[in-house]
Structure 1
Amino acid sequence: MKRLISIAVAILAVCLGLAVWSQDLQKSQGNTGDNTLNLFNWGDYIDPALISKFEKQTGYHVNQETFDSNEAMFTKIQQGGTSYDLTVPSDYMIEKMKKAHLLLPLDKSKLNGMQNMDPRLINKEFDPGNKYSIPYFWGTLGIIYNDKFVKASEVQHWNQLWNPKFKDSIMLIDSARDVFAPALISMGQSVNETNPQTLAVAKAKLDQLSPNVKAVVADEIKMYMAENEAKIAVDWSGEASEMLANNKHLHYVVPREGSNLWFDNLVIPKTAKHFKAIYAFLNFMMKPENAAQNAEYVGYATPNAAAKKLLPKSVQNDRQFYPDDETMKHLEIYSDLPPAKVGLYNDLFLEFKMYRR
């Protein structure tokens, strides 16, 4: 009998231990109960004060984990180890996640705020009807220049970057699609071009640009431009906003002949569990006052038209970051290309970087 009691006690101890272990594991994975929201976001991409405000107003606790690339986010969600409730992929990645069956459709009956969105920035080809996604931030690819060294008239069009006077002056963002885009657009081609011959011609044109290229880098562009160490850069509008805030001599231009239009959208991955918290958060973030506060903190353009009206007039009327309708007509969203075509872009881009003159 004592032996049976001992065994029973041992079993109970093991069960209790497993329960504690399970709770600890859930905490380590961000699952701490029904009052939780697990947000998988880009780094420093939401005002922390808004997180606190949401938690105070709703009683939900937000666990936030960050990623540094769409591909890293995709892999983590595909592996399914953590139950993320919301994440923030870019346009082409939303396409890819849909194809991989990694997203849950939105329940529109639970959403309050879609009417606040700019009609030009919804119902895009990567998610017709916004079945899966809600716009979070948006922007463009363009040219940043320093007026201490460059006249505005010299950098209004992509082709002007090939001017020999800009030798060793241009910083390029380390991204195959974003470096090929200026070359393709200047040739009258789409940023989603996949014809190998056309891409080879674009690569040859980039080779002609190489004497003007000071470096191909990532975040370092912001330091180079802020400290007047480079005259020109090709980068995204969100990054440009930060640069301009740190140097009054910097300006941002979206060439009117065309460029990339990008979006980061909120989506619900298939790992989601806390649906009441999810819709509470989505509705909270679509409130104009909250979306405006977030835009001021992050520095990116808000897709929320009602929120935009709450921003300073100088921001609302800034055509650098809120382009006019004519410019918008010529902007293209990157498509989710087949792996072989992505590989072709990457191979050509690597050759360009390796053999720059």
Structure 2
Amino acid sequence: MKRVLALLAFTTLALAQPKELRLYTWTEYIEPAIISDFEKATGIKVRISYYESNEELLAKLQAGGDSQYDVIVPSDFIIPAMIQLRLLKPLDPAKIPNLKNLDPKFKSPPFDPGNQYTVGYLWGTVGLMYNTQVFKTPPQSWAVLFDPAQQKGRFTLMDSQREMLGIGLRYIGQSVNSTDTAALKKVIDLLLQAKNSKNSLGFQGGVSATKLLLGNQAVAAVVYNQDALRTAGGNPKYGFTIPKEGSTLFLDNMAIPARAPNPEAAHRFINFILDAKIGARLANYQNSATPNAAAKPLMKPELLKNPAVWPTEAQMKVLEFILPQGEKDKLYDEAWTRIKSR
């Protein structure tokens, strides 16, 4: 009888711990072999769904997605809204021993003090990917998009609110975090002019933008450096640059939705990604900078020396992290709505 009860208890426990993890992340944002290795190491099957913008991710969570996924990968600036809306579950540091590998620069970020809800995944920049057969030298200014006289062909803008508004703000000499209404009005006019240009292919996600470049349908695109480097694959026909006016930095993070079906598996996955060797593989695959200090020495040397991956000191001076502006964030929402609807 005791054996029967023990067997029933074991079976009940096994049923109570689903062997599946649902990952909701950016398109092409993790090496497939890393997923396979996690599945082999844990016996947990991973199902992946994709999104193309932080706004799409937030809308999905608000529509009930916080109960459909176990791990998500939001960017820094969208996280305060997710916390305020109670869409994220607090992390249990005891279940993530590899947190020790996180670079001190990325611990306790301003958008999530104490890493209560998030932990860094990868970081990078937004810049301009271009066709080197059209641009014989790297474009020096965002004017190749914003000044009709300097446009050299079809181009795409980034379909991401704060990044695209931030680039516009940098172009007119403002901080990416400016909430000055006069400056935002100038940016609205600037982006509307670019959007409605005869050369514009509109607002695109990173994957679609790079495909347009590869298909010779565009000569320039505003993209994340990771998308540019991964897509170009060393092909000298394509380059990536940060124009002199500057741009935005981003830190993407791992988080667990508030009603995640399998938070235990989520913690195991986050800890797995924070392993030094796995972190280096992830960064190498994405051609990306990593917030994992233990992983950095294991990365490909050529990536560590590439300013498109690790910006120079001069570039860092004109790059800014996007910061939440509290109630004034609605100014960005209103500006973006006006741009997208006209």
Equivalent-residue separation in structure 1 for 2:266 and 2:233 (angstroms): 33
Q: Which residue of 2 aligns with 1:156?
A: 140
5 Å matches for 1:285-304?
A: 285-304=273-292
For residues 29 and 104 of structure 2, what CA distance do their matches in structure 1 show? 23
Alpha carbons of 1:80 and 1:349: their partners in 2 closer, same or farther (altered >3 Å)? closer
Pick the aligned partner of 1:130 from 115, 118, 123.
115
- Any residues of structure 2 matched to 1:141-220 within 5 Å, and which? 141-152=126-137, 155-159=139-143, 161=145, 162=147, 164-206=149-191, 209=194, 211=197, 213-218=199-204, 219-220=207-208
Once the 2 structures are TM-superposed, how far is the Cα of residue 234 of structure 1 from its aligned partner? Answer: 1.9
* Aligned partner (choices 84, 109, 115) of residue 69 of structure 2: 84
Alpha-carbon offset, residue 284 of structure 1: 1.1
Q: Is the 8 A contact 2:102 2:291 kept in 1?
A: yes
Aligned length: 322
Contact 2:144–2:150 (CA<8 Å) still a contact in 1? no
CA 215–272 in structure 1, closer or farther in 2 if over 3 Å, else same? closer
Larger Rg: 1
Q: CA deviation at 1:267?
A: 0.7
2:28 aligns to what?
44
CA distance in 2, matches of 1:33, 1:324: 47
Whether the 8 Å contact between 1:243 and 1:250 is mirrored in structure 2 is: no
The letter for the 1-side match of 2:108 is N
TM-score normalised to structure 1 length:
0.78
Seen in structure 2, the aligned counterparts of structure 1 residues 225 and 34 have a Cα distance that, compared at 3 Å, is: closer
1:243-258 correspondence runs (5 A): 243-245=231-233, 247-258=235-246
The offset of 1:316, in angstroms, is 1.6
Query: 1:64-103 maps to which residues of 2 (within 5 A)?
Result: 64-80=48-64, 82-103=67-88
Aligned match of 1:317? 305
1:33 aligns with 2:17: yes
1:312-352 Cα shifts (integer Å, max 9, x gaps):
2111211112112442343223344656423322233236x
Give deviations 1:232-260, integer Å, cap 9, x for gaps: 22222122123322742211112354311
Distance 2:241 2:100 in 1: 30
Paired letter, 1:254 = I
What CA deviation, in whole Å up to 9, does each residue of 1:278-301 have, x standing for no partner? Answer: 332222111121122223334443
Note the aligned Cα RMSD (angstroms): 3.0
Q: What code does the residue aligned with 1:179 have?
A: M
Any conservation in 1 of the 2:53–2:159 contact (CA below 8 Å)?
A: no
- Calculate the TM-score normalised by the size of structure 2: 0.81
Tell whether the 8 Å contact from 2:53 to 2:160 is kept in structure 1 after alignment. Answer: no
**Contact kept? 1:121, 1:303, Cα under 8 Å:** yes
Question: 2: CA distance between counterparts of 1:131 and 1:43?
Answer: 26
Q: 1:344 pairs with 320, 334, 337, which one?
A: 334
After TM superposition, give the deviation of residue 49 of structure 1 in Å: 1.9
Structure 2 CA distance for partners of 1:35 and 1:182, relative to 1, 3 Å: closer
User: Where do 5+ consecutive residues of structure 2 fail to align?
Assistant: 1-14
Deviates more, 1:313-322 or 1:200-209: 200-209
**Compared CA separation, residues 40 and 240, structure 1 to 2 (3 A):** same
Between the aligned partners of 2:157 and 2:38, the Cα distance in structure 1 is: 38
SS in 1 for 2:126: strand
Q: Distance in 2 between matches of 1:325 and 1:85?
A: 37
Contact 1:141 1:261 in 2 (8 A): yes
Name stretches of at least 5 consecutive residues in structure 1 with no aligned partner: 1-30
Aligned residue in 1 for 2:103: 118
Structure-2 change in CA distance of 1:212 and 1:245 (3 Å): farther
| Identity level (%) | 34
User: Is the contact between residue 176 and residue 349 of structure 1 (CA under 8 Å) also seen in structure 2?
Assistant: no
